Structure 1
Amino acid sequence: RVEGPAALAGLAPGGDLLALTRTADSPAAVTLLTPDGTVVAVLPGDGPHGRLWALGFAPTGPRPTLLLVREHEDRYLLTTWTPDTGAVTHDWCAFDTQITARWYPDGHNVLIRQDRHGRSLLHRAHLTTRALVPVPTPRGTLLDAAPRPGGDLHTLWTDTTHPPTMTSSAGTPLPPLGTVAGHVPGTVRDIHTPGPDGPVHTLLCLPEDGTGPHPAVFLVHGGPADHDRDAYDGTVHSLVASGFAVARVNYRGSTGYGPRWQRAYRDGVGHTQVADLAAVHADLTARGLIRPDATGLWGTSWGGYLVLLALGTRPGLWRAGVAVKPVADYAAAHAAGTVALRALDERLFGGTPDQVPARYAHSSPVRYAARVRDPLLVVAATHDTKCPAQQVRSYLAALDAAGARHESLWLDSGHDGYDGGDHMTVLRRAVLFLDRELRPPRRPAPRGDGSMHHTVQH
């Protein structure tokens, strides 16, 4: 047994060594131990060497060899560990954006999948000869890639207008995946908006029929340690088919653009990201691509948090918002959330709400609820442990007190939501809400206090 939360990252082929992983910036990011619990080595992820991730043992070889990735000086480097050598960083195998890796069956080569600027790249690294060779792959996103015996390579590929497809480089028949009937609408453009820490990259999907500017929805990703990809998304499909342009913005704090971009929070948690959304809004408007009088926001989880913060801190810029299972009151969410999410909050803010209360208050949407002027749909779940229900209720009460125009939809589920019926309910409700609010003529607000509440039970 080990103290604290940990996950099994790998078991050596001989069964005599295990690798356990904790958070990548922990003093004990990776622990090597025998099955009886004897600790063989502890590999740190803090300090000058940078964060560390364990990815599994080589399938063959005379000694256990663990594959790792280390973040160091704004690069990601392939690293290996053996009982004899300890951790060895391969400086010749370095990348400017996030990578993951897995062994080839021979135990000498490594397949590296790189997330770079919303798309995927593949590389093959030969550890003995120190050779790094690009592996050809179609433009888009590889959700997974696995080397197989005999040189075959299996991939799961997608882009915005093509649902995921399994492929084999050797032509091996693979099981078919569920797909979408007919043509997936939309054309994708890459937009780069100047910003204080470098250009902000947006994947903009435009309707194929009609000329711009278009009514638009900014589909805001969560995380924040995540990024939007050139990959099929049913929500994008539905919105574009309904005549909306869809902007997916990889704001500061996103992965896929290097460590410096991921750490760039110069305006504080949330406010930095909202500033990027506003800058892209202005850029797309100036280019004549979107209608500033018909642009809304839609986000889930941390993306929903950004929707609430954006509507409260920049009232009138956006004409509608959809926030699904959001953080609405940061201090309350921290108090009621999971251990892992509390640790994430404390890394983002530099302490707990008791230690740095002003930072949490400054970045909390509930502080700005009275300033919300645009129609808002809030979707929440009664059994949500990540973005707990009570802090959403407190936010809705603040909207009620301010007379803000809003609707709420409650799901009898948890945060991740494994019920397909719930997903369809949210999709239908959100698309209809945005269609009503963003297309002329604008409908008048409902009479009364402006709030509408619904609960969905399954």
Structure 2
Amino acid sequence: MSSEPRSSEAHATGWRARFEVPIRVSSTRSPGGGGLELVLAVGKAGREVSFWDPETGAITPVGGLPALVDCPAPGPDGRSVLMLSDETGAEIGHLWSFPADGGPGTDLTPGLPEYVLRGSDVAQDGSAIVIAASAEDGFGLWLLPSGGQPRRLYQTRNEAWNSRVSADGAYASIDTTDHNPGTRRFAVTVADRDGAVLAMLSDGPEAPVRAVRFSPVPGDPRLLVSTERSGFARPAVWHPLTGARIDVDAPELTGDLVTLDWSDDAGLLLLAHVDEGIHRLYEYDLATAGLSRVDHPDGAYFSPDVASPLPCYWASHYGPGNEIRLVRQRFDRPLEVLSLDATRREPKTRLEPGPIVPGTRLKSERVVSKDGTKLQLWAARPPSATGPVPTILYIHGGPNLVTVDGYDPSAQAWLDEGFGFASLNYRGSVTFGRKFREGFWGAVGDRELEDVEAARNWLVDQGIAAEVFIAGASYGGFMTLLSLGRLPGLFAGGLASVAMADWRLAYDDMAPALQAAWRGFIGGTPESAPERFAYSSPLTYVEQVRAPVLLSQGRADSRTPARQAGEYVRRLTAAGGDAVLDWFEGGHETTSTVAMLEAHERELGLVRRALRGQRWSQR
């Protein structure tokens, strides 16, 4: 084994300092035409919500929220915060509205059974909220009119997510799979306030369409969507009442052109071109059909989500007067907001990134997988390194998520301590085209393992890594466990959090929304395709695991349930494996910087034990 990285007390203090200040997560504009933004941060006691006024610079904390803040979104005009109320972290509950002044909250769907929230949106005039909710009876689109009772506009047993509402509350949309049941290639279905289906936009069985936003102009029913007719994301503006459609094909650009927002006058579109992980923003003028580059420094400008009420964790967007608000991060730089006025020159800082502990940039690298597929990898080693060092290979969750050039205090903490760090965008990741995103379908784990192996070998061959430790959360935790079982000998240890260890046991315990997704991905149910569920489960390969394993698991997790995690560690231990199971109260995510720091200390200590040849489990 290589020598253990050594750090001075100054370095130790440095990496802990990264968790001593709130970590800003997102800045989202409030509906209603004003300029207020809801700012979400992770603090020592949990998630913190504030309203920021870019005109005055005032930041007003929101009090009176539940202890567990789950996916907050701004209500009308910055006067309220909308979020799922869920006391356990299981992500199953009701949508509530909490006044920004800290008053008591209101349950917006008191008569409904508990549900998983898979979309929420607010009409610009404040007249209505729409939600996409999944419960035992399937997937539904609900209209919550101001002062009225919830009204179901659409219901299906097939997967349906992402609710949007028009500026005046007259129309609502939901992304549906009724045209192609069992396959996650969505079409957009539009209904009126009475639940009458008016139109569906589909580009055929192979090309999904996703709604982004209705026109911000009251009385304008046009819907901004993202399509994949070419195999890569492109924006389009669709009129559901007439069928008229404007497509932005941009043939001069390779890769995805992601649709972020359109301006308050509905004349401009804000777009992000992604090329090997690098973000470059563009603006499209609907009147002139002109596509132009937006001036901005390097970094990431959005991060897409797949399983929350909002389509992005955070994203750049328009402000009043067609101002562009550039929400920006880098691996070594916390979230900040820049702005571009009508001249579109010289971005100005509007929201400072806060205290910055100097860090290390990660570089976008190209890696080639076993079958020739090109992968994108973020990688760095500590600036003081003169040769290969022990390295953390991180695998993101999802799988339909992506690692962007966004601030990561844990990555910087590893680099501070003398370790290399890399994060892989494997097949299943978004923003690399449809073929890449769907590359894991039908044989869950196979292609991703090829990609993980290619990344690990690249890190060694390039002289970056000595020993490699694989790590990840959620689907990344699943890939961590599967890699240790099916690629024995390649990794010095595995750090898995909220991981899928056994699909069969998990299926019975997970929320219905996820059951529908995994029936499509794996290709059946545990009863109809038992061999596929077993083949893709890390539990099947516990006897082949040779490296030590840490599994951190939330007791209330509905995505990767607790029972299957406990069974994996029990079976691995019985087979003679070196396994540690750390339980925490809560669901699928860490909600405070204290918990983040404690998790990193735990992982750092175990990795150092492995480098000294010591077991992780206490026996």
TM-score by length of 1: 0.89
Using the alignment, how far apart are the partners of 1:298 and 1:62 within structure 2? 49
Matched, 1:42 2:162: no
Question: 1:57-100: per-residue Cα shift (whole Å, max 9, x none)?
Answer: 21227642111111223122322222443152515346622612
- Picking from 552, 565, 590, the partner of 1:379 is 552
The range that moved more, 195-204 or 406-415, is 195-204
Match of 1:194 in 2: 368
Alpha-carbon distance change, 283 to 228 in structure 1, aligned in 2, over 3 angstroms: same
Match of 2:191 in 1: 33
Question: 1:427-454: per-residue Cα shift (whole Å, max 9, x none)?
Answer: 221122123323xxx23337xxx567xx
Matched, 1:17 2:187: no
Using the alignment, how far apart are the partners of 1:7 and 1:359 within structure 2? 26
Pairwise CA distance, 1:117: 2.2
Secondary structure of the structure 2 residue equivalent to 1:190: strand
Matched, 1:389 2:562: yes
Structure that is richer in helix per residue: 1
Matched, 1:281 2:456: yes
RMSD: 2.5
Match of 1:119 in 2: 278
Secondary structure of the structure 2 residue equivalent to 1:341: helix
Alpha-carbon distance change, 379 to 24 in structure 1, aligned in 2, over 3 angstroms: farther
The amino acid of 1:3's aligned partner reads: Q
Q: How does 1:153-232 map to 2 (within 5 A)?
A: 153-170=324-341, 174-180=350-356, 182-184=357-359, 186-195=360-369, 196-232=371-407
The range that moved more, 37-46 or 18-27, is 18-27
Using the alignment, how far apart are the partners of 2:316 and 2:378 within structure 1? 23
Match of 2:537 in 1: 364
Using the alignment, how far apart are the partners of 1:11 and 1:54 within structure 2? 10
Match of 1:67 in 2: 224
Match of 1:101 in 2: 260
Question: 1:114-171: per-residue Cα shift (whole Å, max 9, x none)?
Answer: 3432232211112232221121222220132122233421111111221111111247
Question: 1:289-332: per-residue Cα shift (whole Å, max 9, x none)?
Answer: 211xx210111010000010011112121011101010000111
Using the alignment, how far apart are the partners of 2:521 and 2:478 within structure 1? 14
Q: How does 1:128-167 map to 2 (within 5 A)?
A: 128-143=287-302, 144-167=315-338
Q: How does 1:262-281 map to 2 (within 5 A)?
A: 262-265=437-440, 268-281=443-456
Using the alignment, how far apart are the partners of 1:251 and 1:108 within structure 2? 36
Alpha-carbon distance change, 266 to 340 in structure 1, aligned in 2, over 3 angstroms: closer
Match of 1:455 in 2: none
Alpha-carbon distance change, 333 to 179 in structure 1, aligned in 2, over 3 angstroms: farther
TM-score by length of 2: 0.67
Aligned residues: 441
Secondary structure of the structure 2 residue equivalent to 1:123: strand
Q: How does 1:53-92 map to 2 (within 5 A)?
A: 53-60=210-217, 63-86=220-243, 88-90=245-247, 92=249
Alpha-carbon distance change, 423 to 187 in structure 1, aligned in 2, over 3 angstroms: closer
Secondary structure of the structure 2 residue equivalent to 1:174: strand
Using the alignment, how far apart are the partners of 2:190 and 2:442 within structure 1? 40
Match of 1:244 in 2: 419
The amino acid of 2:336's aligned partner reads: T
Matched, 1:257 2:432: yes
Pairwise CA distance, 1:38: 2.4
The amino acid of 2:209's aligned partner reads: L
Pairwise CA distance, 1:377: 0.9
The amino acid of 1:133's aligned partner reads: S
8 Å CA contact 1:217, 1:244 repeated in 2: yes
8 Å CA contact 2:276, 2:364 repeated in 1: no
Using the alignment, how far apart are the partners of 2:441 and 2:261 within structure 1? 35
Using the alignment, how far apart are the partners of 1:17 and 1:266 within structure 2? 34
| Structure 2: unaligned runs, 5 residues or longer | 1-151, 303-314, 342-346
Alpha-carbon distance change, 21 to 89 in structure 1, aligned in 2, over 3 angstroms: same
Alpha-carbon distance change, 264 to 12 in structure 1, aligned in 2, over 3 angstroms: closer
The amino acid of 2:487's aligned partner reads: R
The amino acid of 1:47's aligned partner reads: P
Q: Percent identity?
A: 27
Secondary structure of the structure 1 residue equivalent to 2:428: coil
| Structure 1: unaligned runs, 5 residues or longer | 453-458
